[in-house]
Amino acid sequence: MSTPELVYKKPCAVGESPVWDAQAGALWWVDIVRKTIHRWVMRSGEHQSWLLQEMVGSIALGIDGCVVAAQETAIERIELLAGGEIRSIRKTPVEHAIPGMRCNDGRCDPCGRFVCSTMFNDMSAGKSVGAFLSLKGDRIERFFEPSVIVGNGLAFSLDGRSMYVSDSHPSVQTVWVCDYDLGTGYASRPRVFADFKALDGRPDGAAIDADGCYWICANDGGAVYRFTPSGQLDRRVPLPVKKPSMCAFGGANFDTLFVTSIRPEGIDLSDQPLAGCVFAVNPGVKGREEPKFAT
C-alpha cells in the first residue's frame, strides 16, 4: 500500500463526491459550501472549476457528457463548458421536509438512476428529516423509507442487489445494507452492516472495490476503512488529515483510491495543514467504473 499523495493541493472547504472519468482520464469532485465543481486531468495536471448558484452536495457523470448535480433546491443536469460557463439542461426541484435543507451524498445506481440523500444544513441540530431520493426522468421520488439525520455512504454491491447507506451524525454512526430492486429502483429491509460507535471516526462517503468490499471514509478518524461483504473490518488506510469525506476508485487500471477531505473552520490546523486537499493512494486492490446517468 502506497503513501497518500496530493492530487490537487489547493484545499476545499468541504471536498466531496469524487468521480473518475475513465474516458478523459480525469477526476471530478465538488466543494459543497463553495458551490464549486472541480475537474483534474491526471496525465497533464490541468485543472478546471465551475461555480454554481447553490451548494452542490454530489455529482454524477452522464452517458451524454452532462453532469448531474444535486444541489440545495434541485437536482440539475448541466453541461460544463470551457471558461467556467454552465448550461442547464434540465432542473428538477426537490421538495424537502422543512426549509434549510440540501442534497448531500449521491451517485448512480447500476441502471443509471441518480440517487442521493438530503439533510438539514445545520448538522448539530440533529434533525432526523433527511431522505433518500431518486431522479427518474423528470420527477424525484423517495425510494427508501427511513429518515436520517446525515445520509451518506451510498454504494451498491457488485450484483446491484444490495445497497449500502450510512448516517454520519454523531448520535447514529451506523452503516446499513438493504435489499435493492433493480427493476423498480426501491430499497427495503435495512440491516446493520457496521456500527462505528466502537471505531475511530464517523461513516461518510464510500466506494465498492472489484472484490465487492465496501470502502468508507472515517470522518474525524483520519482514515479509510474496508469492510468485507460480511461486514468484517479488514483494512485501514491512514491519511494525513482528520476529516476524509469520500473515496472513489480511478486511474488507468482503477487501482488508485482518490479521497476528498474537509478543512474545518475555527480550529488549529497546524497538525493537518493539508486538510481539505484531495489525495491518491494505491490500496492494493482495484475498483470498477461508476455507472453513468442514463434515465
What does the pLDDT look like over 62-94, one tens digit per residue? 999 999 999 999 999 999 998 999 999 999 999
pLDDT-derived band at 9, boundaries 50, 70, 90: confident
Alpha-carbon torsion 187, 188, 192, 193, what sign? negative
Compute the mean pLDDT over every residue in the chain, rounded to the nearest whole number: 96
**289 domain residue, yes or no:** no
| Mean pLDDT score, 227-254 | 97
| Mean pLDDT score, 204-209 | 98
**137 domain residue, yes or no:** yes
pLDDT-derived band at 295, boundaries 50, 70, 90: confident
**288 domain residue, yes or no:** no
pLDDT computed for residue 1 by the predictor? 59
Which residues belong to the active site?
204
Name the pTM for this structure: 0.97
**291 domain residue, yes or no:** no
**260 domain residue, yes or no:** yes
**112 domain residue, yes or no:** yes
| Mean pLDDT score, 19-31 | 97
**79 domain residue, yes or no:** yes
Structural domain range at position 42: 5-281
- Check which CATH number belongs to the domain holding 217 and give it: 2.120.10.30
Number of domains in the chain: 1
Can you tell me the distance from the alpha carbon of 133 to that of 144, in angstroms, rounded to the nearest whole number? 7
